[in-house]
Structure 1
Amino acid sequence: MEFLTHSEAETEALGARLAAALNPGAVVAYRGGLGMGKTAFTRGLARGLGYKGRVTSPTFTIVNEYEGGRLPLFHFDMYRLEGADALFDIGWEDYLDRGGVCAVEWSELTEEALPPETVFVTIARTPEGENARVITIEGVDLP
């Protein structure tokens, strides 16, 4: 499914909509360059899961954990990792077994570690405005 958002708030709202379709153990893998809105989408995902706190990029921590909603959210940034082996070194399988949602930025760098039922979210700029994005969601039907 392809969606067009015109603002950060609309991107967050789409993330919240996706959250309603996710079950325990879901993996959401983002594709898209710097500044595309992956963290904004994740803020919406967290809100849709019922998390009320602040959501930030895990660029320097590799993973941020958000608990207190319908499901825990584990937000990964793979940018600084050197492939799937490094992902397994930080406990990837343990996160998958915890029954939450794993949201993975820069998933292209560790794609071989993603389960077959992964939901892919591709975010790209569009000429319709500075904050406009084309967001493609594959692997799940939205409510």
Structure 2
Amino acid sequence: MEITYTLNEIDTVAKKLLENLESKVILFNAPMGAGKTTLIKSICKQLGVVNEVTSPTFSLVNEYKGTFTDVIHFDLYRLETYDQLIDIGIDYYLEKDAFCLIEWPELSISFLSDYQYIKIEILGLDARKLILEKVVK
């Protein structure tokens, strides 16, 4: 699935994404400033999260309670080794019945068996292209 959108359409994009997901583990690949966290905020809103959704850049993991499901939001940008990933409890989080939304997911892939991959490309100042892929190992 491919969607071209602007920031004004982010809630519509999040809703369409959720309608097309086949996995609760979603990996986000995009350059800095492409809008990963902005899209994740909108996805959380669609899942009934009422608390403020913030980037877990320094905490690495944020958990949110949603009306429809819980959400675990990872930002793995600062991690460099598999040991660091294990230290934050990736196995524990992946066992939960929750959406796992992972920014900068490269290190986490070996821990996953079923996930979907979202790539966001910057097309212009306010325009983005989103590509959703299904990956099963």
Cα shift readout 1:40-90 (whole Å, capped 9, x = no counterpart): 110111012111221111101101111032111000000011133321211
Question: Is 1:83–2:78 an aligned residue pair?
Answer: no
Alignment of 1:25-104 (within 5 A): 26-104=24-102
Question: Is 1:139–2:119 an aligned residue pair?
Answer: no
- Mapped to 2, the partners of 1:99 and 1:3 lie a distance apart of 28
Count matched residues.
135
Partner of 2:118: 121
Identical pairs, percent: 36
Q: Is the 8 A contact 1:17 1:48 kept in 2?
A: no
1:29/1:46 CA distance change after superposition, 3 Å: same
- Point out where structure 1 has 5 or more consecutive residues left out of the alignment: none
TM-fit CA distance, 1:120: 0.4
- Mapped to 2, the partners of 1:67 and 1:91 lie a distance apart of 19
The structure with the largest strand share of the pair is 2
TM-fit CA distance, 1:22: 4.9
- Point out where structure 2 has 5 or more consecutive residues left out of the alignment: none
Letter in 2 for 1:16: K
TM-fit CA distance, 1:117: 1.7
Partner of 1:6: 6
- Mapped to 2, the partners of 1:83 and 1:69 lie a distance apart of 34
RMSD: 1.9
- Mapped to 2, the partners of 1:124 and 1:116 lie a distance apart of 25
Q: Is the 8 A contact 1:12 1:40 kept in 2?
A: no
Letter in 1 for 2:117: F
What TM-score, normalized to structure 1?
Answer: 0.84
